[in-house]
A and B are shown apart, each in its own frame.
Chain A
Amino acid sequence: MSATKTISFTLNGAPVTADVKPHHNLVELLQGQFGLTGARETCGQGLCGCCTVIVDGLAVSGCLYLAAFLNDGAEVSTVEGLDTPAKLSPVQEAFVETAAFQCGYCTPGFILMVGQLLDEHPDPDDDQIKHYLTGNLCRCATYPQVMEAVRLAAKKRKAGAAA
């Protein structure tokens, strides 16, 4: 049978240790051992973006990423780590203010991918936004509002950096 492996890593800024089974993916680890349900396995094929997790600064599809791939010392971030009890992140604020969701199911994945987009392109044009979000599906079809949210988030980030 499969042997469990112990991995110590950072989850949303806090040091944690997890016992990982080889056949568990990252979503199963986050949900099963840490109660984090922001990343959800949905299409299960890396197409929809609902399972987006940031590992060592890069977005991955948590449903296609074996939990055992995490290195000791890895930095893992999920949507739950973006806000504080007092304040949402600029991207989260922008999504709320532009109503860039309806049911909200895909929103965590979108928000994490937009964070990555703005890290790479602080002032993205429409092509860059579409390119980055190709792998995120919104079945409520709030894509026009998402585009608006990204532009607003870019402004908010800049204002934050200037302040």
Chain B
Amino acid sequence: MTPFELAEPTSLKEAIKLLDPDDPTIRPVGGGTALMLMMKAGVFKPVKLISLRRIENSYSTIAATGDGLRIGAMTTLAALERSADVKKAAPLITRTLKTLSNIRVRNVATVGGALAHGDPHMDLPPVLMALGATLTVMGPKGERKLAVEDLFAGYYETVLDKDELIAEAHVPAHGTKKAAYMKVTTGSADDWPALGVAVVLEGDAGGIKSARIVASAATDKATRLKSAEAALIGGKVDDTLLAKVGDAAADEAEYIADVRGSISYKRELMRVYVRRAVRAALEGAK
């Protein structure tokens, strides 16, 4: 990697001051596992990195709140995976983490980084989006709330300003909702996915009252599939209805082709896996 400077502020406020809204060569770094790949490939050559690893410890903690979870953005994915509070309030997250990259990466990578990086292949964004999670974002003018659903602007792009940082994620508890995340890896089992589908449903096989269906990896950003959701609501969930839901999802999504599959291949994956994910959610996860 080419040389750069490293600043290590000890507070979130100080970190925000060190960022520059107009300078893309200055970037924040959390665990660094994703950013390092870009730097090694020479895609990103920073002049200065602002490490968030020494900011207040409260941003690395998880707390159960009345209606769900508050997760500090610097919480590692391993801490999230092992949290009893997370397993109780949002077991979909716990299940998702088991197949997210590998243990070494999870030991270092952070929740905030998984979101702010804007990489459509990551597993946590579609899951948090399907769960209806919101973020607290801090910037020079103070804080604002942002739904994870509204975070992504495109391929590796978010709506965050360059001097804004994700401080916390707020995840509503599942309650009686049924949830599943399925991913398709077309290379090795632990490769980045060709498709990720997260589904959170209210209701049962007799009729779905509300649904959030989110696709990622096959698309340029994690995306809610609202026509598939609409197709699912109301009727008895049988093969005919699921076929309609799968078709709606396949038609609605906008695909990107890459080494993990062509557009037409991913469209068929979508058709099949949205059906499977709905079924998995209704059947309940192990």
Contacts of B8 in A (CB 8 A): 68
Contact flag A46-B32 (CB < 8 Å), given A3-B5, A131-B98 = no
* A140: Cβ under 8 A from any B Cβ: no
Contact flag A113-B32 (CB < 8 Å), given A68-B6, A131-B98, A134-B190 = no
- For chain B, the count of residues having a C-beta within 8 Å of the partner chain is 28
- Partner pick for B4 among A22, A45, A52, A132, CB 8 A cutoff: A22
Binds A, one of B102-110, B126-134, B201-209, B266-274: B102-110
Binds A, one of B33-41, B58-66, B211-219: B33-41
Q: Bound complex: CA of A132 vs CA of B106, how far in Å?
A: 12
Could you tell me if B6 and A132 are in contact, using CB atoms closer than 8 angstroms? no
* A141: Cβ under 8 A from any B Cβ: no
* A2: Cβ under 8 A from any B Cβ: yes
The tally of CB-CB contacts under 8 A between chains A and B is: 80
Chain B 149-190 interface 0/1 with A at a Cβ cutoff of 8 Å (1 = within): 000000000000000000000000000000000000000011
Could you tell me if B51 and A69 are in contact, using CB atoms closer than 8 angstroms? yes
**Closest Cβ–Cβ distance, residue B202 to chain A (whole Å):** 31
Contacts of B277 in A (CB 8 A): none
In this complex, the member of B3, B33, B98, B107 whose beta carbon has the largest number of chain A beta carbons within 10 angstroms is B107
Task: Considering the complex, give the chain A residue whose CB is closest to the CB of B39.
Answer: A23
Task: Considering the complex, give the chain A residue whose CB is closest to the CB of B82.
Answer: A120
Contact flag A134-B102 (CB < 8 Å), given A22-B49, A23-B2 = yes
A-B contact pairs, 20 of them (CB 8 A): A2-B5, A22-B5, A23-B1, A23-B39, A44-B40, A46-B33, A46-B37, A46-B101, A59-B107, A60-B108, A61-B105, A64-B36, A64-B37, A65-B32, A66-B32, A69-B53, A131-B98, A134-B102, A135-B104, A135-B105
Listed in ascending order, the chain B residues whose CB lies under 8 Å from chain A are 1-6, 8, 29, 32-33, 36-37, 39-40, 49, 51, 53, 78, 98, 101-105, 107-108, 189-190
